[in-house]
Amino acid sequence: MSEASANLYAHLRQAFPDDLNATAIETDSGQFYTWRDLERGTAMLANFLHSLDLPAGSRIAVQVEKSVEALMLYLATLRAGFVFLPLNTAYQSAEIAYFIGNAEPVVVVCSAQNFSWVSTLAFKAGTRWVFTLNEDRTGSLLERAAHASDQHVVAVKKPDDVAVIIYTSGTTGRSKGAMLTHDNMLSNALVLKDFWGWRGPDQGGDVLIHALPIFHVHGLFVAIHGALINGSKMIWLTRFDPKVVLLHLPRATVFMGVPTLYVRLLAEPGLTKEVTRHMRLFISGSAPLLLDTFKAWQDRTGHTILERYGMSETIMLTSNPYSGERRGGTVGVPLPGVSLRVVDGQGREVAPGEIGDIQVKGPNVFAGYWRMTEKTAEEFTVDGFFKTGDVGRVDTDAYVTIVGRSKDLIISGGYNVYPAELESFINDLPGVAESAVVGVPHADFGEVGVAVVVARPGVQLEPGNILTELKARVANYKVPKQCHVVADLPRNAMGKVQKNLLRSQFS
């Protein structure tokens, strides 16, 4: 690819339909955005960012509610050649302080409601500009950008230039910023366009129901890049509500969700073969899709969910085929260009069907963790494979099954919850001697956290108070759904807490 053409935005823009007056996005509140609106809006925001005279490589950190303007800010950041840093809206001040302190963004965009505390900690960390952007299209960002020109030449980027930093905890310790390049994202989007048989505007067109948050890989990249690089319209839902999804299904062709979304849709009597008759493809990922959900979906709708597997560090890695067998309980086969192997404890590749650690390589694999050269090196093998931390097997016909994780991670409703982070918060609470957080099965979220806490001698701890304290400190979805105070934690001969025993005790 020539250097001038490596900016992801340029490729997305090229795929816009000829008729720029056609609808690109229709929202659940009845707004319509044309392709021209996207082109002009992103140009104005990109020009506004340029007007701030930001140094090359500046990070733009964004914690705002889902809106089409928030999407335009993402596209404008790409277009202007800066680095986008999306942040979950559930993050609270300690979490935001860490990300801002670590990434040192030059610009922070937040909701007006959070401006006071976000700007205080951002300015303290050296951020130059803090703007606001609200769900209802108000805020200082759009007020300022309203004066910018709507003509903008897309910034020239090299394939390996960083486009986005996504924070993830990987295997251990504090959150790490995974640096994804323009080419990581473009190559993955192009592969998925083919692999999932997206139909361009000249083939009848696809219509995607976008119901996911836009601060993680699934909603921001897989869904949005998928629709845009195909020139497809999106029906944009600000938040997931199964009844609203049902309302729009008859006019859509593609839906993407984490397993919880499918579980909640199945709970709706209105989910029928008739309502899904026009649908072409249901895709699931971010967490294991239970075979029961897979089969129930087939029975109720006649559609077979296509499950795929990915990570923040790699975007999409494997997928069940569009035309071939979609095998429930598996995540399908490695995508074209992705090398995937399963190795034993010594790093030797195991025979087909045997279980081991999953390692991957490909143009989609990230450029490393932000300012963590050593951590990055630890996560790669000498021959350049990335250690996913997932445990699984590959069958003789290349289908991959994930059977577990070597990293201590709970995936709850598609969000990652790191026990180590919660344990450190709990251990800091007065009267706590030690704690362990484990994941247990949950009908709605798939898996949820349970905290098991030991009190200091002579201290009486109230489980409810521990959860309340946590709620004040961390994102709501990370707060364990239960807390138990116990006399001691089970340990093995090496003194390591036996989380598997706690898991079976509290399941």
Strands, E, within 171-302: which ranges? 176-181, 207-210, 233-236, 254-257, 281-284
Instruction: Give CA angle at 239 (238, 245), nearest 5°.
Output: 95
Which is closer to ligand AMP, CB of 216 or CB of 248?
A: 216
CB of 168 to ligand AMP, least distance (A): 4
CA distance 248 to 448: 30
What does 258 interact with, of ligand AMP, ligand MCA, none (CB < 5 to 8 A by kind)? Answer: ligand MCA
Which is closer to ligand MCA, CB of 217 or CB of 432?
A: 217
Q: Tell the residue number behind the tokens 């849709």, with chain if given.
A: 265
CA distance 309 to 320: 9
CB of 402 to ligand AMP, least distance (A): 5
β-bridge partners, 235? 26, 209
CA distance 400 to 390: 11
What does 477 interact with, of ligand AMP, ligand MCA, none (CB < 5 to 8 A by kind)? Answer: ligand MCA
For the record, the structure tokens of 98 come out as 């860490």
CA distance 83 to 155: 12
Which is closer to ligand AMP, CB of 312 or CB of 435?
A: 312
Q: Under a CB-based contact definition with an 8 Å cutoff, are residues 48 and 80 in contact?
A: no
CB of 310 to ligand MCA, least distance (A): 4
Q: Under a CB-based contact definition with an 8 Å cutoff, are residues 309 and 317 in contact?
A: yes
Which is closer to ligand AMP, CB of 231 or CB of 446?
A: 446
CB of 129 to ligand MCA, least distance (A): 28
For residue 225, give the DSSP letter: H
CB of 366 to ligand AMP, least distance (A): 10
CA distance 49 to 78: 11
What does 37 interact with, of ligand AMP, ligand MCA, none (CB < 5 to 8 A by kind)? Answer: none
The footprint of ligand MCA (CB under 6 A) covers 212-213, 216-219, 240, 258, 260, 285-286, 310-312, 412-415, 445, 448, 476-477
CB of 454 to ligand MCA, least distance (A): 24
Distances in Å between the Cα of 257 and the Cα atoms of 102, 218, 315, 435 are 30, 8, 15, 33
CA distance 417 to 334: 26
What does 62 interact with, of ligand AMP, ligand MCA, none (CB < 5 to 8 A by kind)? Answer: none
Which is closer to ligand AMP, CB of 217 or CB of 224?
A: 217
Q: Under a CB-based contact definition with an 8 Å cutoff, are residues 69 and 142 in contact?
A: yes
Which is closer to ligand AMP, CB of 48 or CB of 215?
A: 215
Burial of residue 20, with CB atoms counted within 10 A of its CB: 0-12 exposed, 13-18 middle, 19 or more buried: middle
What does 260 interact with, of ligand AMP, ligand MCA, none (CB < 5 to 8 A by kind)? Answer: ligand MCA
What does 405 interact with, of ligand AMP, ligand MCA, none (CB < 5 to 8 A by kind)? Answer: ligand AMP
State the residue number with the nearest CB to ligand MCA.
Answer: 413
Q: Under a CB-based contact definition with an 8 Å cutoff, are residues 29 and 238 in contact?
A: yes
Which is closer to ligand AMP, CB of 92 or CB of 406?
A: 406
CB of 219 to ligand AMP, least distance (A): 11
CB of 78 to ligand MCA, least distance (A): 19
Helix (H, G, I), strand (E, B) or coil at 246: helix
Contact residues for 412 (Cβ-Cβ < 8 A; gap 6+): 439, 442, 445, 446, 447, 448, 449, 477
CB of 162 to ligand AMP, least distance (A): 17
What does 199 interact with, of ligand MCA, ligand AMP, none (CB < 5 to 8 A by kind)? Answer: none
Given its phi and psi angles, is residue 286 left (phi above 0), alpha (psi -120 to 50 degrees) or beta? Answer: left
What does 414 interact with, of ligand MCA, ligand AMP, none (CB < 5 to 8 A by kind)? Answer: ligand MCA
Which is closer to ligand AMP, CB of 161 or CB of 307?
A: 307
Which is closer to ligand MCA, CB of 44 or CB of 470?
A: 470
The footprint of ligand AMP (CB under 6 A) covers 168, 217, 285-288, 307, 309-312, 331, 388-390, 402, 405, 411, 416
CB of 131 to ligand AMP, least distance (A): 27
Question: Residue 369's closest CA among 359, 355, 379?
Answer: 379
State the residue number with the nearest CB to ligand AMP.
Answer: 312
Which is closer to ligand AMP, CB of 139 or CB of 257?
A: 257
